[in-house]
A = this chain, B = another copy of it.
Amino acid sequence: MSVRKGFCDLGFAKLDTDRKRRKGFAEVVYSPGKDKKHLKKIAQKIINLKEDLLLTKLDKETFSFLNKSIPVLRYNPLAKIGYFLAKPKKSFKGRVLVISAGTSDIAIAEEASQTLEVMGNRVDKLYDVGVAGVHRLMSNVNKIKKAKVIIVVAGMEGALASLVSGLAKSPVIAVPTSCGYGSSFSGLAALLSMLNGCSPGVTVVNIDNGFGAGYFASLINNTPR
């Protein structure tokens, strides 16, 4: 199993061992749909290569299975993230603010936060400040002003992203969640809402993709000038 070509061929998988050099962070593993034994071999290999390991959308049962053979693996059950840090990281200077609209969006907000922490970012959290009671957000405008990057996690109508962006100088990354029912169509309403925001300075990731938002925020936070 040579890694000369920038990847490590496990037959069923080709680990991208060049990823860290190229993109600044090792290959991240999306867990669903993978054979458990395949997942174990991938995780073990990454740890053996002394890379940071990040397993997203990892359910508790699969974590338990992996944990038996990989005791160093840690797990954030709310964020559904399994992880292992090869060595301690120095934090970036800026702070990332993770905002959630409601308490039902917390799992995805935590996914973003956990990703940010694994990647070496200082994270502030501002949860449950949806537009139904806008004074909760307005009382925290200073947090918005101080953040170098902002992540807004919201389901239902996803209105919070536009509102926060209207108050912020920093870039806002919007994460629609599947929280809601009926014509929320599993997050479609929030997704479309966020894509069509009237305030500039917002970009969007996939529904429930807290990881993607955290990763992207880390790139910005880490941007040299």
Contacts and interface: CB of A to CB of B under 8 A. Distances in A.
Interface of A: 5-7, 11-14, 16, 18-19, 22-25, 27-28, 30, 32-35, 38, 42, 57, 78, 93-94, 101-107, 127-136, 139, 148-149, 155-159, 162-163, 165-171, 173, 176, 178-209, 211-213, 215-216, 219-220, 223-225
10 contacts: A5-B136, A22-B166, A22-B167, A25-B200, A38-B106, A132-B165, A157-B197, A159-B163, A170-B223, A202-B216
- Number of this chain's copies in the complex: 8
Given A42-B103, A192-B183, A216-B171, A128 B166 contact: no
A196 B220 contact: no
A94 B182 contact: no
Contacts of A211: 200
A148 B223 contact: yes
A138 to B, nearest CB: 8
B201 A196 contact: no
Contacts of A134: 134, 163, 166-167
B104 A30 contact: yes
A208 B182 contact: yes
Contacts of A162: 131-132, 157, 159
B189 A196 contact: yes
Contacts of A224: 148, 225
Nearest to A32: B104
Given A106-B12, A203-B204, A184 B157 contact: no
A220 B225 CA distance: 10
